[in-house]
A and B are shown apart, each in its own frame.
Chain A
Amino acid sequence: GIQVEQSPPDLILQEGANSTLRCNFSDSVNNLQWFHQNPWGQLINLFYIPSGTKQNGRLSATTVATERYSLLYISSSQTTDSGVYFCAVQDSGGSNYKLTFGKGTLLTVNP
């Protein structure tokens, strides 16, 4: 099955810093989503981005499908950005319904 690797596994920032999280996947995809799992465990949708670039406030994401990676940018980080960021993909050659998740990047933003 498709493999999803996220880097870095852990990241510690001071409030106000910028960061880039990366997601590599091993096969072509027709769905890629970024999620934020907050410290209370809730999974929050950030982006649906199988290709191209999107922005939402301080967050933006870019997926280069032909090179099989996606990047999530967080600018001017805040303590509320802390949590785990997951990338999840749907293999275009496999099941039409299964999302495969990476193991996540644990982000800690210190005041």
Chain B
Amino acid sequence: NAGVTQTPKFQVLKTGQSMTLQCAQDMNHNSMYWYRQDPGMGLRLIYYSASEGTTDKGEVPNGYNVSRLNKREFSLRLESAAPSQTSVYFCASGKTGTSFLNEQFFGPGTRLTVL
């Protein structure tokens, strides 16, 4: 049981390049999330997927797109990277059951630098 996995761990891009961050979870959770973490800002929600086949914007969606490929996988795409997107990106999945409402579990993060 690997939990939430993310690839790559590190990435350096030039301004204008594109890339896709991959996320997968093996906990059979319905909801998945992408956050970014910047110094002094805590974590902020970029996009989320409440269930397979749905996606919605979070607090800071501009410059990003997402795809919920299936129940396990949720990818984040930067179409034209900008220096302001330099950040650490975390993927999470959410557990909901009789005793839990959306308890979220996080992957190890991707450290992205845009030059």
Residues of A within 8 A of B (CB): 30-31, 33, 35, 41-43, 45, 48, 50, 86, 88, 90, 96-99, 101-104
State which of A31, A43, A48, A102 has its C-beta within 8 Å of the C-beta of B90. Answer: A43
Q: With a CB–CB cut-off of 8 A, which chain B residues contact A88?
A: 43, 104
Q: Which of B15-23, B78-86, B105-113 contacts A (4 or more CB under 8 A)?
A: B105-113
Contact B31 A97 (CB under 8 A): yes
Q: With a CB–CB cut-off of 8 A, which chain B residues contact A33?
A: 103-104
Q: With a CB–CB cut-off of 8 A, which chain B residues contact A31?
A: 101-103
Q: With a CB–CB cut-off of 8 A, which chain A residues contact B40?
A: 103
Contact B42 A48 (CB under 8 A): no
Number of chain B residues whose Cβ lies closer than 8 Å to a Cβ of chain A: 26
State which of A35, A41, A97 has its C-beta within 8 Å of the C-beta of B109. Answer: A41
Give the complex CA separation of A48 and B99 in angstroms: 10
CB distance from A92 to the nearest CB of B (A): 9
Give the complex CA separation of A93 and B111 in angstroms: 33
Taking the complex as formed, is B41 at the interface, i.e. its CB lies under 8 A from any CB of chain A? yes
- Which of B90, B102, B111 is the most central at the interface, judged by chain A CB atoms within 10 Å of its CB? B102
Q: With a CB–CB cut-off of 8 A, which chain B residues contact A45?
A: 103, 105-106
Contact B101 A90 (CB under 8 A): yes
- Chain B residue with minimal CB distance to A4? B42
Give the complex CA separation of A103 and B105 in angstroms: 18
Contact B42 A104 (CB under 8 A): yes
CB distance from A95 to the nearest CB of B (A): 8
Q: With a CB–CB cut-off of 8 A, which chain A residues contact B111?
A: 41
- Chain A residue with minimal CB distance to B105? A45
State which of B33, B42, B105, B106 has its C-beta within 8 Å of the C-beta of A97. Answer: B33
Q: Which 4 A-B pairs have the closest CB atoms?
A: A101-B42, A43-B106, A48-B103, A101-B43
